[in-house]
Amino acid sequence: MKDIQAHINGLRHDFSKMSLDEDTLNANPFKQFEIWFQAAIDSKVPEPNAMMLSTVNAKNCPSSRIVLLRNFSAKGFVFYSNYESQKAKDIELNNAVSILFFWPELERQIRIEGKIIKQTAAESDIYFNARPRNSRLGAWASPQSEKISNRKILDDLFQKVEKEFEGKEVTRPDWWGGYVLEPERIEFWQGRPNRLHDRICYSKTFNNNWEIARLAP
């Protein structure tokens, strides 16, 4: 244990690849996100759409997990989930959430905070129907976040659903669909030497414009 602790305390990495300057930023945070996301794709960052979603439950305890971004626009950032999962229960009680993208290959992260709404059923249907068949079957089979005694139960549920839909189209279950995070704050973070990182924050104003400010690291 002491060796691990010493190793952790000795971990050091000085960020020096790029900088983030107000003069080169796009005034639209969604355009700036698109620029950085494209750079992550071009740099072949593994799973560039993986993001940490943080919610708060009824006891005000936070919970985080990785989900996948599936779309974004000026309306917000979209991901999909079982509406009976733990994250969904948290969102039902408190729809203020945050998501975090971290791309260490580029020494960048993006923090996004705002309120979540559900996608329309029609929008969720479009995405669900585009998924691989086994992924659609998995959505029906998994009682997400519920306790199960062993792996066999999950495998048996999948086989049962597979038989039920044999020769049929796998439609979207009512308890599964999309969420849209409507951002109120978006922060772009670029690693810099000596821990003096660049942090630029867009905050939505009362008239739905965006105020841009630099934050101390």
Q: Which residues are catalytic?
A: 195
99 beta partners: 53, 112
Q: How far is 141 from 114, CA to CA, in rounded Å?
A: 31
- Kindly tell me the burial class for residue 204, based on how many C-beta atoms sit within 10 Å of its own C-beta (0-12, 13-18, 19 or more): middle
Closest by CA to 21, choosing from 190, 193, 184, is 190
Which DSSP helix (H) or strand (E) runs through 43?
A: none
SS3 146: coil
Amino acid letter, residue 133: R
Q: Which of 171, 201, 208 is nearest to 110 (CA)?
A: 201
Q: How far apart are alpha carbons 93 and 112 in whole angstroms?
A: 20
Residues in Cβ contact with 26 at an 8 Å cutoff, skipping those fewer than 6 apart: 32, 35
Compute the 3-state secondary structure of the chain and give helix, strand, coil in percent, each to the nearest 5: 35, 35, 35
